[in-house]
Amino acid sequence: MDYEPHARERMGENAWAYISTGTADERTLRANREAFERLRLQGRVMTDMSGAHTRLTLFGDSFEHPIFLAPVAFHRLVHPDGELATAFGASAIRAGMVVSTSASVPIEQIARQATSPLWFQLYLQYDRIFTQSLVTRAEQAGYRALVLTVDAPVTLRNREQRAGFGLPPGVEAVNLQGMIPPPPPRAEPHESEVFRGLLAGAATWKDIAWLRSITRLPLLLKGIMSPADAARAIAEGVDGIIVSNHGGRALDTAPASIEALPRIAEVVAGRVPILMDGGIRRGSDVLKALALGAKAVLIGRPYIYGLAVGGPVGVAHVVKILRTELEIAMTLTGCANLEAIDRSVIWE
């Protein structure tokens, strides 16, 4: 969290309004932190920690630690090299990175920069033919998994609106160039713009089968907060679930991600890997998430703040801090590896 005030100084109010904001009254944004702070850990002593490590395997790839970089749009808002700088920093600390559909650098260039595994985050576009071409590009560039974000077909970010946020010259979603845009809402003044236009092209459950038919990549759904949706996702054949409230940027007054995680883990019952994001600011938060059912976690704003302050070094340093704190928390709770972390580390 020490990076945050320095990042704000460097980012300016326009970028700050976009990166830091939550939806509506930002209650869920705050809840993501507050829920972690309410959880207590059960310390254990004199555990044999010889051979301790934080390694894990996901979808056939090995990772040194369970801290991934979540998809965030427009990294060039905070650093001139954008996602290239992020990928360089992620690779230096061997962190998996999920690249946004709205990246400000072509996904092929990012892939050439990275030496750690990349996943591609997909927003289904109104133009399904273009969407398929995006998936094909990701496959051909060597991305290792497809992450479909499903929780933000519409948004309401008042702080961003009040700040008058706009993309500065030279920053755009370059990977969406050439796409057929959705038609503008055609609602009459007394009709709903949301239902009669803004939802054009939004993902539905039937799209899972379509995505399965066009890609060989493992498919994860990001934005699952309901046990019922988790069960439906598994029934539809997804390979993984990311418990997420979009960093407090989708449905306000939704619970914190860490609060939703245990119920979803109970329904999933180990059938597919679960990841989570939202509110992680300490390595002990990572431990808590793993204890409550996550296989790994994703961070968003923390590494963006690191990118704004220190470029690739800032990204790597943020992950390094979290990994070191995770190792300290594992030591003090008697967990020599990730498999040893379970509900018993949570003080009930």
Query: Side chain identity at 116, as an amino acid letter?
Result: S
Q: Do residues 99 and 175 make contact, with C-beta atoms less than 8 angstroms apart?
A: no
* Token duo for residue 162: 């009040």
Burial 120-151 (b: 16+ CB within 10 A, else e): bbbbbbebeeebbbbbebbbebebbbbbbbbb
- Concerning whether 246 is annotated as a catalytic residue, the answer is yes
- Could you tell me how far CA 173 lies from the centroid of its own chain? 18
Candidates 65, 75, 246, 317; catalytic one: 246
Query: Side chain identity at 334, as an amino acid letter?
Result: G
Residues annotated catalytic, as ranges: 246
